[in-house]
Structure formats: C-alpha cells, structure tokens
C-alpha cells in the first residue's frame, strides 16, 4: 500500500476517533427537551424557536393547540430517537475504525472485517429506529403546531424512507465481502 494511502487512512482513523468521542455529547441533547417539558414551554419554544420553520402561510396557532400539545410525549419521543441515533452512530464508527485499523495492518480479507461490516449494518438499524421516533416527534410539531424542525435530530418521514436503503446496500456489500473472505480462506487451504 502506498505511503500516501496509509497516511490518508491514518488521518481518517484519527478523525473517526475524535468524532467517536464527540458523539458522546449527543446523549446530553434530550435534557433540553425534558427541561422544556418540565417547564411546560415545549410548544412556545417550538413556535418561537429558530430550529422550527412554519409550514403554513398562517403564522399564528390557536391557544388550544398550544395548551394541548403533548410536552412529555414529545420529549419522550425525542429522547428515544436521539439515544437510538447516537448509539447507532457510535456502533457504526466503532466498526468502521476496526476496518480502518485492519487496512492499516494490511489485513484486507479477514473474518474480522466481515464481522465489522455486519456490525455496521446493525448500527444502521439502530439509526433507522431513531429516525422513526424522531419522525413521529416531528410529525407532532407539524400536525399540531404547523412547524417543522430544521435543527439537530430533525428527521422526517422522507428521511425514514431514505434511511432504509443504506442497510440494504451495506448488506449486499457484506454478503459479497464474506464470500470473498470464504474464497480467500479456501484458496489458502489449497495451496
């Protein structure tokens, strides 16, 4: 492997490590939703916050809609969604860093890489679960308050549908890679 490619893999691995450590801070994100729910300010924060855009030409929302907004339900959905997404990102990064370490050691077709690919597929399913809960939470804001989230954890139903493609593609890659590892092992035994 060329020296430049090894340096690039090393840099990417370092970037993934820093991102992995920084991702743990995302576990703090639900605290904001719980604080607003506890204060009873979820609906007013959504209506006047910078992270929500109006989906209707009419900017006003009735007082009944504001008072009937399910603060605790929204906070719960956002918490479950953000935790599932964060766990999925952490699992994905961990598996990806294993593959990068293997590439740096020049171990290309190994069972460990196949296992890491399978772990990446599993991590994507965690993210899909998180996307589902976030889409439900953001549907509440759209349906009841006429606002759509454009901030952090702003998944919607289109994101949920789109996120179903990544595990499918990665599963195909995993199947092909596992077959290649099997062929390599078989070839090593025949020589």
Q: Write the pLDDT tens digit of every residue in 84-127.
A: 999 999 999 999 999 999 989 888 888 899 999 999 999 999 99
191 — pLDDT class (breaks 50, 70, 90): low
Q: What are phi and psi of 81, to 5 degrees?
A: -65, -45
- Furthest-apart CA pair in the chain: how many Å? 78
- Taking CA 144 as the corner, what is the angle to CA 138 and CA 145, rounded to the nearest 5 degrees? 80
| Phi, psi (rounded to 5 degrees) for 68 | -90, 0
pTM here is 0.85
């Amino acid at each position: 492997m060329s020296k430049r490619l090894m340096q690039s893999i090393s840099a990417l691995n370092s970037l993934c490590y820093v991102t992995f450590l920084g991702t743990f801070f995302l576990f703090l994100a639900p605290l904001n939703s719980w604080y607003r729910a506890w204060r009873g300010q979820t609906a007013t924060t959504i209506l006047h916050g910078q992270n929500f855009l109006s989906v209707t030409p009419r900017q006003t929302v009735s007082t009944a809609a504001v008072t009937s907004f399910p603060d605790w339900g929204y906070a719960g959905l956002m918490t479950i969604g953000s935790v599932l997404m964060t766990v999925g990102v952490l699992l994905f990064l961990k598996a990806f860093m294993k593959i990068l370490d293997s590439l740096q050691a020049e171990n290309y077709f190994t069972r460990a890489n196949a296992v890491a690919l399978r772990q990446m597929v599993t991590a994507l399913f965690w993210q899909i679960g998180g996307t589902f809960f976030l889409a439900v939470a953001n549907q509440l804001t759209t349906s009841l308050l006429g606002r759509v989230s454009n901030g952090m954890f702003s998944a919607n139903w289109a994101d949920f549908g789109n996120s179903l493609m990544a595990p499918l593609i990665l599963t195909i890659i995993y199947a092909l890679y596992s077959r290649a590892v099997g062929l390599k092992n078989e070839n090593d035994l025949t020589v």
